[in-house]
Chains A and B, each alone.
Chain A
Amino acid sequence: MFDHGEVPALALSPVVDPAVDSRSARIEALETVHELQARIDALQRTRLDTRLMPTHEAIADLLPGGGLREGAVYALSPSSALVMALLVGPSQAGSWCAVIGMPEFGVEAAEGMGIDLDRLVLVPHPGDAWLTVAAAIADAVGVVVVRPGRAASDAAVAKLAGRLRERGATLLVLGPWPQAEAMISVTESRWAGLGEGHGLLSEREVTLTVTTKQGGRPRSGRLLLPDAELGIRRLDRGAAADRARDRWQGVETATVRRVG
């Protein structure tokens, strides 16, 4: 059944020159297997109700499932701009957002990026109670950002995960997190606009890398965060769109075959 499904996966990877040694061919094969495994996971989902949060379209397709999932946890590299970029979508769609344990969260930048301050709540100093606070707020708030304080026990983490699933809230954690749906990190950053003693910061080009919990090849994309209009713009949009279309076709074929 995979013979049809394989085609888009191969299209994803660079064209393999038969002259290249068998080692790189093996790596390619491994990646193909991962891709397929991910697709099987996506098709044979254990939960029925994995709804997506409205996510900014520049980031959405980098994430597994095509957006922030309700009830899931994402681990982020420490970057306030990344946090804001992920909050913009849900906030503009009417969700409440809470930021816990980040006293340095730049309110003006958040507003500039498009986060609705009327539906933003800050708990800058939760102290050791950060997990309790996060759980209490996740009861009512759509997206919760937390910077963990003291390490939490596995039981408490599992309990929080259960509550998130039940309430359909999304948790964004600054730092590593067991059972995170994906790890989103800023791997490269380049500011434009400044010279040697002149100019003004104008826009920044970043590379976002997303590693999923299933493993597999990390997905990455280049973005302007922020661009000259304080928005978020995808730079490698053309390639990403092609890839997304290929994948979509692949899933379709696979589904048809499964049904048939």
Chain B
Amino acid sequence: MQRTLVLWLPDWPVTAAVREGLAPAGAALAVISANRVIACSAAARAEGVRAGQRRREAQSLCPALQIVPFDEGRDHRLFAPLIDIVEGLVAGVQVVRPGLIALAARGPARYYGGEKAAALALRGALAPEADDVRIGIADGPFAAELAARTAATTAAEQGLRIVPAAASGPFLAPFSVSTLGDPGLATLLGRLGVRTLGDFAALPAAAVRERFGAAGAHRHALAGAADATPIVPRTPPPDLERVLELEPPLDRVDQVAFAVRQLADELVEALTARLLVATAIRIVVRDEHGIESDRAWLHPRSFRASEIVDRVRWQLSGETRTMGARSDADRGPGLRAAVTRVRIAPESVDDLAHHEPGLWGGPPDERVHHALSRVQSMLGHEAVLTPRRTGGRTLADRALLVPWGDRAAGTRPLERPWPGALPQPAPSTVFPTRHPVSVVDGEGAAIGIDERMRLSAAPAAFAPGAGGAARPIRSWAGPWPLDEQWWSIRRRRLHRLQVVDAAGVAWLLVLEGGSWWAEARYD
């Protein structure tokens, strides 16, 4: 029987939610999953809230209850630093779930000179991170967990309960069969008159196996403190993150890019050694004022070292140089603040085998990617764009330009009807910034629109607002009103007009906010 130490942090989902800033500490708080309470804070428990209650029930017991949805990722993420602390002291840690750790007690007990000393050492190390830590030591994980859960927080015991070796059977005997975590079995045993673990353990093992099968036999062994469940130590995940501290801080993009070069090489080598490639990376750059710029970069295939360096360079250059050609000044533009730290972490990795080029070179798209990446490293990440169609009413809404390699984010669904959008054919030239124009009638008077959405006169000509020859209008249609999002601050009201000029070219004119604009041309 393996002596096991179980370390339990009560109500970890609640602690995690508080640490994430979702609720103030000490508030009545419940973490809910599938409409059931998973965990609740001490304040909520004092009002009668219990795990397993329905949300309504909990809210009726405690009207001030704050509800936080359950997020396993958050629990794991915030628990990871605690695991690191424990692993710093002892080896072979099994994380049963966030908030519950099991480890073999023999090693630490020998090292620290006794089980109690080991438990106190662990709690002492965790003290800065967690104030309520319960520790149970018993034969086997099941008994140890029960010991931890029943450890009193009195001054004498300090949340520590040690069941002496070979005394776990009598320790377990008074507990209810429901602690086995099998409600079906617990109900059945209750009907059979078997109410405690001691009663259950007293049944002959062969008879239990015959009646309840292998699962029942396993539970029977647990109840009899014959728990042979081994502790499966977790394998610490490979540390692929690379951090570069810059001392003295560097204040030029090319210097930082040069310094990062080796880091990128190391990262790619470390990945390759594990037969992995990175398809997304996260770059965090901290400057000397402590301000961090954090961005995830995607790659349509996989990152090579030089491409990681490019991403660092683009991130540092920011929006200042994303459009337009690289100038000579780019050799050393001053950053706003000197960079002290660069962190590169792979965000998603893939098997190297999926990214091996074929024996006779890659597919043609690979060549396209290389050429476009080269242009990107010349002009900046946002200079090479791939178009996507999105739904919308205005021309600007109906197309989305995504930088090469990025994923389109926040696309409006295309298949909706979008009433108010212009019918086909779409204009072949859509001005990126619309041009101001003046639209006049036959007498040269400016044309407006009345409250019944009629033009004040038939348009006869339009001219660029900056001054230029007026173009006579041969035929026209409209105005078609569009009143979008009238409920919000992003409300847009405009009227559109299609006109054909003397040269046979059609234009889309827009009246918005009292002035006319040429928005697109059908050339």
| A contact residues vs B (CB 8 Å cutoff) | 78-81, 84, 96, 103-112, 117-118, 120-129, 132-133, 136-137, 139-141, 186, 188-191, 194-204, 226, 230
Contact = CB atoms under 8 A, between A and B. Distances in A.
A133 B388 contact: no
Interface residues of B, number: 53
Contact of A140 (B367, B424, B425): B367
A201 B521 CA distance: 12
Contact of B522 (A121, A126, A198, A204): A204
Of A106, A111, A188, A190, the most chain B CB neighbours within 10 A belong to: A106
Contacts of B389: 107-108, 111, 117
Nearest to A128: B325
B466 interface: no
B290 interface: no
Given A121-B372, A140-B370, A195 B477 contact: yes
A106 B427 contact: yes
Given A108-B426, A201-B506, A117 B375 contact: no
Interface string B251-267: 00000000000000000
B225 to A, nearest CB: 64
25 contacts: A79-B523, A105-B429, A106-B399, A107-B389, A107-B398, A107-B399, A108-B389, A109-B427, A109-B428, A117-B386, A121-B384, A121-B385, A124-B432, A139-B367, A140-B370, A141-B371, A186-B523, A189-B503, A189-B523, A191-B504, A191-B522, A194-B498, A197-B458, A201-B506, A203-B425
Contacts of B432: 103-104, 124
B520 A123 contact: no
Nearest to B427: A106
Interface in B370-427: 370-372, 374-375, 378-379, 383-389, 395, 398-399, 401, 404, 423-427
B505 interface: yes
A200 B326 contact: no
Contacts of B374: 136
A126 B378 CA distance: 10
B175 interface: no
A123 B523 contact: no
B417 to A, nearest CB: 16
Given A123-B385, A136-B371, A204-B522, A194 B500 contact: yes
Contacts of A80: 428-429, 521, 523
A103 B323 CA distance: 11
Contact of B398 (A84, A108, A186, A188): A108
B428 A84 contact: yes
Interface in B168-207: none
Contacts of A141: 368, 371
A121 B369 CA distance: 11
Contact of B395 (A79, A108, A127, A202): A108
B442 to A, nearest CB: 12
